[in-house]
């Protein structure tokens, strides 16, 4: 069961199968929960603007728009969540662009999927430590 103290994740993914896999993975990490799931650039930007999310797991290829559009829009925000790009298009130029636009991690779905729990655990621990101080 999600707690208001949990690290809140916005999942931006247009594949229902991948979305379900990531949701199950995230919700099994202690102190972390998926707050919202969207599948388009516009919905992602709106969710970040109006939601209370700490982390965005962002695909680059979306049903409408791209993850790059989300990253560009987030650059203008004063309070930005941590962004973890998770994509099937792990080209070096995409990696460089995503990191330059503010993504903290750039992960390949086929190779790095299993790294998500560790990264989210570290982010949740850092948040808990910050809140305790």
Q: Does the predicted TM-score (pTM) go above 0.85? A: yes
Edge-to-edge strands, sheet with 82-87:
32-38, 7-12, 55-58, 82-87, 105-108
Tell me the pLDDT tens digit for each residue of 46-103: 999 987 899 999 999 999 999 999 999 999 898 899 999 999 998 999 999 999 999 9
Tell me the pLDDT tens digit for each residue of 7-57: 999 999 999 999 999 999 999 999 999 999 999 999 999 999 987 899 999
Tell me the pLDDT tens digit for each residue of 87-126: 999 899 999 999 999 999 999 999 998 999 999 999 999 8
Domains and CATH numbers, the chain: 7-132 (3.40.50.2300)
Of 112, 10, 98, 109, nearest to 56 by C-alpha is 10
Contacts of 52 (CB under 8 A, 6+ apart): 8, 35
């Amino acid at each position: 069961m999600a707690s208001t103290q949990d690290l809140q994740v916005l999942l931006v993914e247009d594949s229902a199968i991948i979305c379900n896999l990531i949701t199950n993975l995230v919700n099994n990490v202690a102190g972390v929960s998926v707050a919202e799931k969207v599948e388009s650039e516009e919905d992602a930007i709106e969710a970040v603007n109006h939601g209370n999310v700490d982390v965005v797991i962002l695909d680059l290829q979306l049903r409408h728009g791209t993850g790059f559009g989300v990253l560009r829009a987030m650059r203008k925000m004063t309070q930005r969540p941590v962004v973890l790009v998770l994509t099937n298009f792990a080209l070096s130029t995409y990696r460089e662009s995503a990191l330059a636009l503010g993504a903290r991690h750039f992960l390949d779905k086929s190779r790095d999927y299993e790294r998500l729990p560790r990264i989210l655990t570290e982010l949740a621990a850092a948040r808990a430590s910050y809140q305790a101080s």
